[in-house]
Amino acid sequence: MKVALIGPIAKDQITIDNKFFVQIGGIPYYAGVALQSLGAEEIALYVTCGSKDQEWVRENLDGLNVNFLPADHTLVSNIAYSSAKPDVRESFIEPYSNTIKTKLDLLASLEHFDWIILGPLFHDDIDFELFRSLRHKLLAMDNFGMFTYSESGKMVRRNPENLLQVLPFLKYLFLDREEAYFVSGCHDVARAGRFLQSKGVTNMIITDGSQGSHLFIGHKYYQVPAFAPRRIADTTGAGDTYMAAYLRATELFTDPFVRGRFAAMAATMSLENKGAFKSSVEEVENRLKEFIFDK
């Protein structure tokens, strides 16, 4: 697997149970480090951040090939939640317009990779034309970025058509249940998943926290259980870990259910430590041995 990750780097200021810490964030960070830990053959990050933060980014992405794209400032987010209710968050973000443009030198560099993971956090982080220009690649994307706007520091959802227009170019799309409901207009997982596939995405994966995940792989459907963490240290980046682990699993396993189970366990393990997921394939498989499964 030769994979490039594209998107903004963020500086996350996190408060959990009144304990405060600062860490690097953004999909390229969480998914890139997870893929590195899971043994992906080659990884490169194409990211935006303020020039004064570039050395800090390199230190946090040690061992990864980091390429900086033009940007004015680094996104700064403030996130607060309790370990008792990790799915309920308060957030405030300082957004900047650091749009990644479709340029010939960027496209030429990306030709080397088979997988391209696009990780916008806001609607204007990635130029629409970049999706079209990379449609011959294996494109994957997760989260809310294409339909997220900032209003007075709050992240709000608008214009689901922003995501719908790029679905024909995507091999895999990962959304959580509420995001899938918002974009599809359907308040039923099965209908939401099939609706999004009808708009062009080949494989649609809907995550639902402790309720597990739903895989719409071509015409087939799989429901994958979630695993309870031994402890919760930090929930940030769990969805990005799920995506990275699932994509890595496409090279390890032929059965989509097994891939989903692997990704679900990686996401659970990511909850147990602060920062990005840093466990190996073997460590994930060893944790899975604690469970007996039925499809």
> Residue 255: its pLDDT value, please?
97
270 assigned to some structural domain = yes
- In this structure, the dihedral spanned by the alpha carbons of residues 234, 237, 239 and 240, taken in order and rounded to 10 degrees, is -150
Whether the predicted pLDDT of 1 surpasses 90: yes
Contact predicate 181/187, CB 8 Å: yes
290 inside domain: no
Structural domain range at position 230:
2-284
Structurally, the chain folds into a number of domains equal to 1
More confident residue, 233 or 206: 206
Given a cut of 50, whether residue 211 has pLDDT beyond it is: yes
Q: How confident is the model at residue 87 (pLDDT cuts 50, 70, 90)?
A: low
Residue 62 lies in a domain: yes
The answer to whether residue 276 is domain-embedded is yes
Range in 12-26, 122-136, 202-216 with the lowest mean pLDDT: 12-26
Please report the pLDDT score of residue 155 as a whole number: 85
Q: Which tokens is 116 given?
A: 């391209």
**109-142 pLDDT tens trace:** 999 999 999 999 999 999 999 999 999 999 999 9
Token pair for 241 = 């870990």
Please tell me the least confidently modeled range out of 122-131, 147-156, 166-175: 147-156
Secondary structure class of 73 (helix, strand, coil) = coil
CATH number of residue 33's parent domain:
3.40.1190.20
